Amino acid sequence: MRGEIRRHMMVVGVCALCALLAMTVFPPRARVPQVEAQSTTPPMISNIKISNIGATSTIIRWTTNVNSDSVTNFSIGKNLGTSKDPNPSVMDHETILTDLEPATIYFFRVSSADSAGNRSFSATYQFTTPGTEKIIGLDEVVSEEQKLITEKAVEIVDKLTDEKALAIVQGKLQSVGEDVLSPPRILGDPRLDIGTETVTVHWITDKDSNSVVEFASEGEYGGGAYARTEGDAGEYVREHNVVLYGLKPQTVYHYRLTSRPQVGPEVQTDDKTFTTKSILPEIFGVRLQKIEENSATIVWSTQVPAGGLVEYTNMSTKEKKSIGDPSLQVSHTVRLTDLKFRTLYSAVIKARTEGGDEISSQPVTFVTTKDDAPPIIANVTNESTLYPGADLKVQTIVSWDTDESSLCQFFYGQGLTITDENKLSFPEETGFSLKHTQVITEFTPSTVYKFWVECHDPNDNVGTSEDFVLFTPEKEKSIIDVILENFQGTFGWVKNIGK
């Protein structure tokens, strides 16, 4: 009768006992120290596989993205002191571990170094060598670790002879097994601390489990394939923190979380995404280009393209206004308008990246005063077009900008030397403006002209541009003209034809 009870209890309690042994015989292990990044990029390790697991040997395989050596550190304990000799430089790696103990859990990690000595390490993994004793149904247990625990459980159950002891163990293992053999649950959404080149992923599970994050950039991701993995597969915790290194700024990444307990199935999230931050701009070269009675012009630069905004405050009334340009550029000019004469203002410059990251400058103060500075003339361009016909005509369009509303007049002359006798001009503009255009139809083809502009602001401060030179287009030659020129170069008498 006692033997039947024992067999019955073995069947009912073996799985639950497996779970208990997993937590008592094999306690959680300490985190494997993270390997500091080298000054240059080490090989990328992927596709780590364990195969041909025997009682005394097994094979470890992995791949790298560049030729590198093959090193496997393995041991029964967490201190990985045993190392296989490096194999020749390859991208497909294989090491054979021999002289192993049967029915034993081994820990291992692999590493590879390229020809420059840059070495990378994998996370810590484990496998279990099978025992030599044959247990019916043991082959149906998929996990090698679970096989070992089952062997230990059978051994312990065989030693129990007291019926009451068996009943106590059965009840305890049944309650523990119901909890342990269920997968962990991830509580809430993961929390991300996003930087430009790193992201820290935080999540919580309802039971102790390991921490693994698979991730890949948008360009690398291919329907569930993740290029890189970070985390510690050998540490079992409830609060998980994994840092993803080597990311690119302003880049979309896909990622997936996995948490596996020491015993039981794992939990895995669906694919998620995040975008790293862009590089923050630096504001430098801030200066007040011009201060006027009711306006002021501020210029500055940024080391990366960014939008520009100026927030300015009337220090007497505390009224705040803002004006800017959202277009991404590195050189910025903003004109503040509707200011009050002889008033103190404070201005703060803000630079914003395409991703929305923003930085502010220190305040800049100024007092509006009478404008005695002439307009600044800039961005002068010209374009000429030749209109064919019986009477050839040239149309030239000249445009330019001023930093304040101005009236401008266009001056020009034929040739490179202009005097009062050959200086010509067009009438002055009729309205104040920041952008100016002059259309000229008096120019002749194939002719050199010099021109300049004079502008004055409402306070009659006059500014004059530098001198500019343009050459109007010439008439395109017909095929007959080209042939005649060629003959004329060879036979001088050709030029007399038609005379």
- CA–CA distance, 2 with 173 (Å, rounded to integer): 20
pLDDT of residue 4: 46
Q: How far is CA 150 from CA 9, 13, 30, 136, 137, in A?
A: 14, 11, 25, 11, 10
DSSP letter string over 128-187?
EPPPSS--TTGGG---HHHHHHHHHHHHHHHH---HHHHHHHHHHHHHHHHHHTSPP-EE
How confident is residue 433, by pLDDT bands cut at 50, 70 and 90? very high
With a CB cutoff of 8 Å and minimum separation 6, the contacts of 493 are none
pLDDT of residue 44: 92
Q: What is the chain's mean pLDDT, rounded?
A: 83
Q: Using one digit for the tens of pLDDT, what is the confidence trace for 4-48?
A: 444 444 444 444 444 444 444 445 444 444 544 455 789 999 999
pLDDT of residue 132: 61
Q: Would the pLDDT of 323 be above 80?
A: yes
> What structural domains and CATH numbers belong to the chain?
2-180 (2.60.40.10), 186-275 (2.60.40.10), 283-367 (2.60.40.10), 377-471 (2.60.40.10)
**Residues 281 and 353 sit within 8 Å (Cβ to Cβ):** yes
Query: Beta strands 358-360 and 364-367: pairing type?
Result: unpaired
Q: Using one digit for the tens of pLDDT, what is the confidence trace for 267-321?
A: 999 999 999 988 889 999 999 988 888 899 999 999 999 999 999 999 999 999 9
Backbone angles phi, psi at 387, to 5 degrees: -100, 115
Q: Using one digit for the tens of pLDDT, what is the confidence trace for 208-267?
A: 999 999 999 998 887 778 999 999 998 999 999 999 999 999 899 999 999 999 878 899
Q: Residue 486: in which H helix or E strand, if any?
A: helix 479-490
Where do the DSSP E strands lie in 343-421? Answer: 344-352, 358-360, 364-367, 377-387, 393-414
With a CB cutoff of 8 Å and minimum separation 6, the contacts of 459 are 293, 370, 371, 372
How confident is residue 481, by pLDDT bands cut at 50, 70 and 90? low
Q: Using one digit for the tens of pLDDT, what is the confidence trace for 118-147?
A: 999 998 898 888 766 566 777 777 677 777
- Name the nearest CA neighbour of 103 among 133, 77, 129, 125: 129
Q: Which two tokens stand for residue 279?
A: 């590089």
